[in-house]
Amino acid sequence: MTSQRRPGGPDNDRLIGIELLRFAAAFGVLVWHYQNFATVSVAERPFVMEAQPLYWLLAPLYAYGNAGVELFWCISGFIFTWKYLQPIRAGGVSFGHFLMLRFSRLYPLHLATLLLVAGLNAAYRARHGAYFIYPVNDLRHFLLNLGFASQWGFQTDRSFNGPIWSVSVEVLVYFLFFGISRIWRGAVWSDIAIALAASALYGLLRKQMDIKLEVFGAVTFFYIGAATCHGYRWLESTQATRQRLVAWALLAVAVATCTLLAAHVLKIAGASLVLFPAAILLVQLTVRPRTPWLVSVIAGFGNLTYASYLIHFPLQIAMILLLENRGLVISDWFYGPLLLPAYLALVLGLSVPVYQGFERPAQSWLRGLGRRPSSQPGKT
């Protein structure tokens, strides 16, 4: 979710399938969080999942859209391995520069939406007597959010702009990735070993000590993505015929996994371990548009993922307050045909100016500050 490349660049052309998958993951999260609207008056009108709009079409996203978070982690592992592994190993990217790249990409919009949610949820609480969805919005948790540490184990619950929790956890994985990349030669088997070890620790702590540290889940999927990247690099060097055969095999695996998931033979936690790397490889092998305008369009959708992910929760609060100011009851709209498309259109429509008018300028400005002290022209 957190990568960024300019449309039309060589790196973007080679990872254009990833951009499409990133957007699909973000869209799944948006649909899954539509149920947030139902909590406003759930006491008067109980929530019925199957009654949500377009359920016949969006049922998988209503049920499993939150798994987009793990897919984001998997995609991040792929992209970071693709883009940063070799430069970090060779010493071409310092730790400070690596942190600046991540900070400038993630923090400006995080800070803006944190402040926005603080104001909107205060207004919501004044009207409803409780905060919307995420209950802990005190000074301690504000400071944790301010330091990007909202999900580092110091919290009592999710707070403020709740979806940022997954990015907060991923920040810890960045530190791990940089350190391992410096001292350990990245390879598919070592990445799988790290993923297995993290998964085992996550399960052990949760079952034996009732401790749920999401960072181990993030490490698991991040390094599954890293291993997938090594696999894709190998596939790139093979003949086109073999790539087509692998693509068909991956499609069969994906269909079989989805079928077992729909039949409740597999749970999403297990299915995602197979489905996500298969999906990444499949889109990378098959989504290869040859026209620059189509590459630009797909990359543009991919660039909206971070904005849509961070603005959709404050936008939900704003929509509820606005409707209530006009004397409208959200529960009267929740199961109807208008609220869902209005919500999705607003999130995706606003993501464009947020990305182009805020994210990119803020990132460029911060990276410009980071380059100014350098005495070596051209050094980035």
DSSP letters for 59-122: HHHHHHGGGHHHHHHHHHHHHHHHHHHHHHHTT-S-HHHHHHHHHHHHHHHHHHHHHHHHHHHH
Phi, psi of 341 (to 5 degrees): -65, -35
Assess contact for 149 and 201: CB atoms under 8 A: no
19 within some domain: yes
Orientation angle between helical segments 339-354 and 16-32, nearest 10 degrees: 140
In the prediction, which pLDDT does 41 show? 66
pLDDT in tens, 52-65: 999 999 999 999 99
pLDDT of 332: 83
What pLDDT is attached to residue 212? 75
pLDDT of residue 165: 95
What's residue 330's pLDDT?
A: 84
Provide the token pair at 23: 């957007």
pLDDT at position 185 over 80: no
With respect to residue 1, please indicate whether it lies within any of the assigned structural domains.
no
Q: Return the structure tokens found at 236.
A: 């790139």
Cα–Cα distance, 165 to 174 (Å, whole number): 15
Q: How far is CA 355 from the centre of its chain?
A: 15
- The mean-pLDDT minimum among 83-87, 141-145, 349-353 falls in 83-87
Model pLDDT, residue 370:
64
Q: What is the pLDDT of residue 7?
A: 36
Q: What pLDDT is recorded for position 9? A: 41
Identify whether 139 is part of a domain. yes
pLDDT at res. 210:
67
Strand partners, 136: 159
pLDDT at 1: 54
Range name among 41-50, 181-190, 356-365 with the lowest pLDDT average: 41-50
Q: Does the residue 377 lie in any domain?
A: no
Domain that holds residue 76: 10-371
Q: Is the pLDDT of residue 273 over 50?
A: yes
- Average of per-residue pLDDT values in the chain: 89
| pLDDT confidence tier of residue 372, bands split at 50, 70 and 90 | low
Total tally of structural domains belonging to the chain: 1
Whether residue 2 lies inside any domain: the answer is no
pLDDT in tens, 275-302: 999 999 999 999 988 888 899 999 999 9
CA-CA distances (angstroms) from residue 86 to 82, 92, 186, 278, 283?
8, 8, 9, 24, 24
Interatomic CA distance for residues 141 and 139, integer angstroms: 5
When pLDDT is cut at 50, 70 and 90, the band that residue 42 belongs to is low
- Give the Cα separation of 350 and 309 in Å (integer): 12
Q: What is the pLDDT, as a whole number, of residue 202?
A: 85
Distances from the Cα of 54 to the Cα of 58, 188, 349, angstroms:
6, 41, 20
What distance lies between CA 214 and its chain's CA centroid?
A: 14
CB 380 within 8 A of CB 97: yes
pLDDT(374) > 70:
no
Burial class (CB in 10 A: 0-12, 13-18, 19+), 167: buried
DSSP 166: H
- pTM for this entry: 0.90
Query: How much is the average pLDDT of 168-189?
Result: 89
Given a cut of 70, whether residue 25 has pLDDT beyond it is: yes
Q: What is the structure's pLDDT at 33? A: 96
Confidence of residue 5 (pLDDT cuts 50, 70, 90): very low
Per-residue tokens: 2:
């957190």
Does 379 fall in a domain?
A: no
pLDDT of 355 > 50? The answer is yes
- Position 250: which residue type? L
Query: Comparing 4-13, 94-103, 110-119, 318-327, which segment has the lowest mean pLDDT?
Result: 4-13
